[in-house]
Structure 1
């Protein structure tokens, strides 16, 4: 109604509005004053209840079980021949470090727990309570309880703690063979009861306990020490059994049972590797000339002896463990239980030792090749004669080396394709600055590059991290591995690409893995998240190691000998030509043999310029111009590469070594005839030879 509206409009008529005071009007807010934000620290509560501890323990053992399943799958792939020993061994040893981290995080969160024994007993009691069984009188445990015992490695805890009584620093735990029973690898383990399987595990570990004791007594083990040996060392010193030690023991036994009758195969593999590496180095020493001592001093030889040869001689040719145990017992107890007992049954340790030998040989080989310079410069010559079609036979070792080191590093850019570029890239490789070849330079004095001569590099990002960690004692490398894998494989959500699809289930992913896993496929398998799971990290690590193992296996010593033999052959065949162009003292010592590649390129570059001045490079001339030195070198390389003894040179090098230690090679009569054919026209310092119908001009 109208009257009601009027009444509502006057509701505030009785309110009194006060005017602001003079002081308030004159006051102004201080613009310089800033409000300091309150520093609020949020910290999650530490779970203290028993139920939270049990849930966290179950989650931890569940994650450990996933890791264990992944490792047994890749060891099965090794057994089937689709993965190499080094890859599965280092992936497994890294997994032990992951479990160690999980255990550390768990007990750091639940500080009131005494140790693994309390967790294991609590979880078994809970399972017995839920299933309505009496833990004390239940013999044997039913299937449900057995499942929990295997999940939390209760059997391994019982086995390792039972060894504590005989595992003391001063007395070796020597057992007579068959003391606990006889292990028969021909028995089908799947048909055995849980008690029989436990007895098998006890027999295997008990008979190797003395070997582990010997390694655990030392303060620092060998560079290739495995996680199980580290666990035994901790157990010997602290008298405690950790979860990661139980995990390592279970993994060791599972690999042992997986290989079964083939348990000695990994040791035979690394014995063959050690023999090959030792022979390759000794053949390289026999070939070396005394003039090269300034490039490779005796101290380097002693380093190779201590780092590489001693490991081969002590661990693969002689049983250092058995010898040490026999010296300790001194006839009090018969410690003779067979040579190389531990390595024949410990495949993971064999893989770590193989990695150490391969990585050490790779580093030494690269350093040796860089010191003498033969490999890199011969690669330039090989590229030149192949491009000029003077050699049409592929050199597999050299092609592989160029592929490993990349063309950009070997040739200071892409492969050169003409005589002047051959010489220019060779000079850049030797350490001359690119400014030396600038077209607008008035002074033609050679300039040295600030980076010095180009050299070969040690390849393999993952291998480098693992070598530093295991062989140089730089500490844990899990953080570095995670960083490397994240940089190489994980796709960022804001990089403009499509989100990668969700990975397959773990079972399917494991089934699909092969050693040829590519970066692209892994980028789609590994989803972007705050942190990859341990299994995803191990999968990526396995893929990277599979790709780097062939790089580790490359024998730079073998390639050096082949290159030295090739250059020595070319120098002897072209000695008169070199003496004519560069006088008799073109080589002061034999260590300057790689310089003949530069001489060949220098003459070829001058020959090309002369041919251009004569107009022989024009199409109307109808002829192809090349260097005689380069052509002869190519034909000699072609002859050598087709020699059936050149391929397995590392095994048949004595056929090429004369009694005075020098290499020799004599071209066939057919090759000599083709080189001497043609009409020679003298143009001063250069010769143009028109040979046959091809009208090939050579200098």
Structure 2
């Protein structure tokens, strides 16, 4: 069973109910309850479904955590609960555990109060009145009273069956009256801390409670679902409020948000099938909205407005917003315009114009609805242009994915409605700031394009064997894709559709409207290109050894106290990536150690520096150098999906918990008190635990709810933003220029000590560092290191903050603080 904190409220409720049925049936059978009475419900023979293909391969990778399926599964009817309880209670040698009574009480609290609250209303439609109000609760309460006298005497007596006046029940009833209160009750919320009752040992039969299918059962399930997704919705609002206020990065916010919507999709899996038995999602949400209105004290005649063209009372907008009914209604309007091979074209101004600078709080319900309609109709047209006309669009969020599914099935899922609602929520948080998301994306894409162009200028006549021409071709493809996105492929699709329809596109048609309208897609697009250039930059630095071996020389000079300046760009890179990315073991402190660490990093021995080499011995190691280790452990877990267009898409809380466990950033302080800080983990023991988590050995986050997981994920992604954004291609050029300067200045002395054979071509520039270190072992002096000092100091003065300057232009200014004599970013 998944860790309790990762289970949806409805799944938890179902497991509670099934465990009650299983314990009653198993215990009664062990006491001699007639088998023919026990199995008068449906008996299902368990089958072992054989997985095939990819599903089978994936199953093999996962450790088995479940017991073998029993031979049969018995469905215990609800009406049999009381007879079974009475039979068990009649046996003197049977005692009832508190775990059973506590589980029973949780289910009563989860169900209690709804039917009674609904029945109190004056005018209740027949369809709602026909629901089996209180039937199941009455059964459970009777079981509780029958078994209560037989509770183990050594255990604390269970609380009585809760009445409607108790806090637990009234809290849950309030859920139906106000969706702003999230938890049904403390009892139900704390359920994971209590062990559920189990069938008696040796009973090989699986028991389940009779599936509930009444309207009341549906509303209970829907309440639990909406409670769960509203927590996620609230967390997403927290993300984008902090983005608007400048605390969170756009790409990190988008990845965390889309993952949150993934989790909401996961939570709907158990509940959504119930909608079909009651007319589908649209009818269910209509009934749900009606119930909410009745519980708010409205009369049926007040709910429907005869003066409105569509008979909807828009004065109830804020209540309707909590039921998702209006968003579902707007999304439903997409279906009639989805025609084969047709791209719906939204005429600008058809439903008015969205004014993001207006005050939404002062608007009427209908004016708010108008804003919803304008925004959703606009984004729908942009989505359809991509779905129908753009192959291989770089990224896909859950809203775009939902529209793709809608075009195929013509059926609306709750997740699509939720994704649409999140789209609206983000706009109403950002308002006039929403367009800045596209500006941020465009600014970064143009920067990435310049980075690649500068690379080609720098390497026009500079080549190396382990950076083949195919890599340069890949870089040109990356540039081409940037220009393709900036040129807006969806715009061209719409323009052709307009030409076919009326001969020309309207002059008011705007480029990049999809990315301008969707902050999530803009953020995911930024993540896509940022992670790709990060991958390229690390590979480039590893192929040339530029950053690593420049750091080795810089570290040796610092350790010898020969420098008067600090190389801030290098200090930043070292802080972000850690010494383990550059040194085997701890960083060296002496010249002898520096030489050994250099050779270990190069994957060679010191013999290559001696004069006893025979003939032309290649200075490159056949084993190859040790490169910079893979970084950004949390962010990199999303690259398969958002960079490579494959991999995990349906994230479960378990998946997210494992990813968050990899993070090397942690929070300190309190959000409420304004003392919250985000810092890198530097405790070696904690880092070891993180390494174990990467290989699936343990998990720290399995007790978090989905919304808490998203909070932890958001902080992990934010912590890695700088590491993922650092322009490693620029740092590579800076470090190669650094090595050039050192080699040029030290060349006469290098020739004097080692002859002109010390270097044969510029691609071997990194070996100059080794020759500088080797002097100490060869002749016992450090003349070369001292000679390099002046050049290095001058280089740091003139070029040592190039990368910092680029980051500042991208809106990521870095400050350095001195701690214990060391400089940290």
Give the secondary structure class of the aligned counterpart of 1:43: strand
How far 1:288 moved relative to its partner? Answer: 1.5
Task: Provide the residue aligned with 2:225 in structure 1.
Answer: 60
Deviations 1:69-100 (A, max 9, x none): 22112211111111111221111111111111
Quick check: 1:474 aligned with 2:647? Answer: yes
Q: C-alpha separation between the residues in 1 aligned to 2:672 and 2:261?
A: 19
How far 1:113 moved relative to its partner? Answer: 4.4
Give the secondary structure class of the aligned counterpart of 1:640: helix
Q: Is the 8 A contact 1:47 1:110 kept in 2?
A: no
* 2:794 equivalent among 639, 661, 665: 639
How far 1:349 moved relative to its partner? Answer: 1.1
* 2:333 equivalent among 162, 175, 182: 162
Q: C-alpha separation between the residues in 1 aligned to 2:305 and 2:797?
A: 78
How far 1:136 moved relative to its partner? Answer: 5.0
Task: Provide the residue aligned with 1:552 in structure 2.
Answer: 724
Task: Provide the residue aligned with 1:182 in structure 2.
Answer: 353
Q: Is the 8 A contact 1:82 1:514 kept in 2?
A: no
Q: C-alpha separation between the residues in 1 aligned to 2:231 and 2:500?
A: 46
Q: C-alpha separation between the residues in 2 aligned to 1:564 and 1:388?
A: 23
Relative to 1, partners in 2 of residues 1:511 and 1:326: Cα closer, same or farther, differing over 3 Å?
A: farther
Q: Is the 8 A contact 2:602 2:626 kept in 1?
A: yes
Deviations 1:427-446 (A, max 9, x none): 00110379999xxxxxxx99
Task: Provide the residue aligned with 1:251 in structure 2.
Answer: 422
Task: Provide the residue aligned with 1:233 in structure 2.
Answer: 404
Relative to 1, partners in 2 of residues 1:269 and 1:129: Cα closer, same or farther, differing over 3 Å?
A: closer
Q: Is the 8 A contact 1:54 1:123 kept in 2?
A: yes
Q: Relative to structure 2, which stretch is displaced further, 89-98 or 469-478?
A: 469-478
* 1:430 equivalent among 578, 585, 602: 602
Q: Is the 8 A contact 2:390 2:490 kept in 1?
A: no
- How do 1:442-461 residues align onto structure 2 when only pairs under 5 Å count? 452-461=624-633
Task: Provide the residue aligned with 1:262 in structure 2.
Answer: 433
* 2:584 equivalent among 412, 417, 425: 412
* 2:529 equivalent among 357, 363, 370: 357
How far 1:450 moved relative to its partner? Answer: 11
Task: Provide the residue aligned with 1:197 in structure 2.
Answer: 368
Q: C-alpha separation between the residues in 1 aligned to 2:209 and 2:531?
A: 45
Q: Relative to structure 2, which stretch is displaced further, 251-260 or 627-636?
A: 251-260
Q: C-alpha separation between the residues in 1 aligned to 2:276 and 2:370?
A: 35
Q: Is the 8 A contact 2:531 2:643 kept in 1?
A: no
TM-score (norm 2): 0.64
Give the secondary structure class of the aligned counterpart of 1:516: strand
TM-score (norm 1): 0.75
Q: Is the 8 A contact 1:172 1:213 kept in 2?
A: yes
Relative to 1, partners in 2 of residues 1:303 and 1:155: Cα closer, same or farther, differing over 3 Å?
A: same
Relative to 1, partners in 2 of residues 1:561 and 1:58: Cα closer, same or farther, differing over 3 Å?
A: same
* 2:449 equivalent among 278, 284, 304: 278
Quick check: 1:305 aligned with 2:465? Answer: no
How far 1:606 moved relative to its partner? Answer: 2.4
Q: C-alpha separation between the residues in 2 aligned to 1:528 and 1:381?
A: 39
Task: Provide the residue aligned with 1:681 in structure 2.
Answer: none
Give the secondary structure class of the aligned counterpart of 2:638: helix
Deviations 1:308-356 (A, max 9, x none): 323321123x222212321343353425511222222221111111111
Q: Is the 8 A contact 2:665 2:680 kept in 1?
A: no
Relative to 1, partners in 2 of residues 1:249 and 1:435: Cα closer, same or farther, differing over 3 Å?
A: farther
Q: Relative to structure 2, which stretch is displaced further, 509-518 or 529-538?
A: 509-518
Relative to 1, partners in 2 of residues 1:53 and 1:511: Cα closer, same or farther, differing over 3 Å?
A: farther
Q: Is the 8 A contact 1:485 1:540 kept in 2?
A: yes
Q: C-alpha separation between the residues in 2 aligned to 1:76 and 1:68?
A: 12
Quick check: 1:628 aligned with 2:628? Answer: no
Deviations 1:114-159 (A, max 9, x none): 5312321221343455543145556576699645421221111111
Task: Provide the residue aligned with 2:270 in structure 1.
Answer: 105
- How do 1:381-530 residues align onto structure 2 when only pairs under 5 Å count? 381-432=553-604, 452-472=624-644, 473-476=646-649, 477-478=651-652, 479-485=654-660, 516=678
Q: C-alpha separation between the residues in 2 aligned to 1:209 and 1:422?
A: 60
Number of matched residues?
572
* 1:73 equivalent among 238, 256, 262: 238
Q: Relative to structure 2, which stretch is displaced further, 236-245 or 104-113?
A: 104-113
Give the secondary structure class of the aligned counterpart of 2:576: helix
* 2:285 equivalent among 120, 127, 130: 120
- How do 1:12-27 residues align onto structure 2 when only pairs under 5 Å count? none
Task: Provide the residue aligned with 1:648 in structure 2.
Answer: 802
Q: C-alpha separation between the residues in 2 aligned to 1:72 and 1:175?
A: 28
How far 1:463 moved relative to its partner? Answer: 0.8
How far 1:486 moved relative to its partner? Answer: 5.3
Relative to 1, partners in 2 of residues 1:291 and 1:558: Cα closer, same or farther, differing over 3 Å?
A: closer
Relative to 1, partners in 2 of residues 1:319 and 1:448: Cα closer, same or farther, differing over 3 Å?
A: closer
Deviations 1:243-270 (A, max 9, x none): 1111111211222222222222111112
How far 1:599 moved relative to its partner? Answer: 0.9
Q: Is the 8 A contact 2:661 2:701 kept in 1?
A: no
How far 1:489 moved relative to its partner? Answer: 10
Q: C-alpha separation between the residues in 1 aligned to 2:723 and 2:276?
A: 46
Give the secondary structure class of the aligned counterpart of 1:244: helix
Q: Is the 8 A contact 1:431 1:448 kept in 2?
A: no
Quick check: 1:132 aligned with 2:299? Answer: yes
Q: C-alpha separation between the residues in 1 aligned to 2:664 and 2:271?
A: 29
Based on CA coordinates, which of the two structures has the bigger radius of gyration?
A: 1
How far 1:537 moved relative to its partner? Answer: 0.7
What runs of 5+ residues in structure 1 fail to find an aligned partner?
1-35, 438-444, 492-502, 609-625, 653-699
Q: C-alpha separation between the residues in 2 aligned to 1:352 and 1:416?
A: 40
Task: Provide the residue aligned with 1:494 in structure 2.
Answer: none
Q: C-alpha separation between the residues in 2 aligned to 1:190 and 1:39?
A: 60
Relative to 1, partners in 2 of residues 1:489 and 1:590: Cα closer, same or farther, differing over 3 Å?
A: closer
Q: C-alpha separation between the residues in 1 aligned to 2:677 and 2:769?
A: 39
Q: Is the 8 A contact 1:432 1:446 kept in 2?
A: no
Relative to 1, partners in 2 of residues 1:559 and 1:171: Cα closer, same or farther, differing over 3 Å?
A: same
Q: Is the 8 A contact 1:325 1:335 kept in 2?
A: no
Relative to 1, partners in 2 of residues 1:305 and 1:115: Cα closer, same or farther, differing over 3 Å?
A: farther
Relative to 1, partners in 2 of residues 1:434 and 1:573: Cα closer, same or farther, differing over 3 Å?
A: closer
Quick check: 1:563 aligned with 2:716? Answer: no
Relative to 1, partners in 2 of residues 1:635 and 1:509: Cα closer, same or farther, differing over 3 Å?
A: closer
Q: Is the 8 A contact 1:433 1:448 kept in 2?
A: no
Q: C-alpha separation between the residues in 2 aligned to 1:47 and 1:360?
A: 49
Q: Is the 8 A contact 2:240 2:253 kept in 1?
A: yes
Q: Is the 8 A contact 2:251 2:524 kept in 1?
A: yes
Relative to 1, partners in 2 of residues 1:434 and 1:475: Cα closer, same or farther, differing over 3 Å?
A: farther
Q: C-alpha separation between the residues in 1 aligned to 2:493 and 2:334?
A: 21
Give the secondary structure class of the aligned counterpart of 1:185: coil
Task: Provide the residue aligned with 1:320 in structure 2.
Answer: 489
Task: Provide the residue aligned with 2:42 in structure 1.
Answer: none
Relative to 1, partners in 2 of residues 1:291 and 1:304: Cα closer, same or farther, differing over 3 Å?
A: closer
Q: C-alpha separation between the residues in 1 aligned to 2:228 and 2:481?
A: 37
Deviations 1:263-312 (A, max 9, x none): 22111112111122221222122112545242211111122233x32332
How far 1:169 moved relative to its partner? Answer: 3.8
Q: C-alpha separation between the residues in 2 aligned to 1:91 and 1:362?
A: 19
Relative to 1, partners in 2 of residues 1:118 and 1:532: Cα closer, same or farther, differing over 3 Å?
A: farther
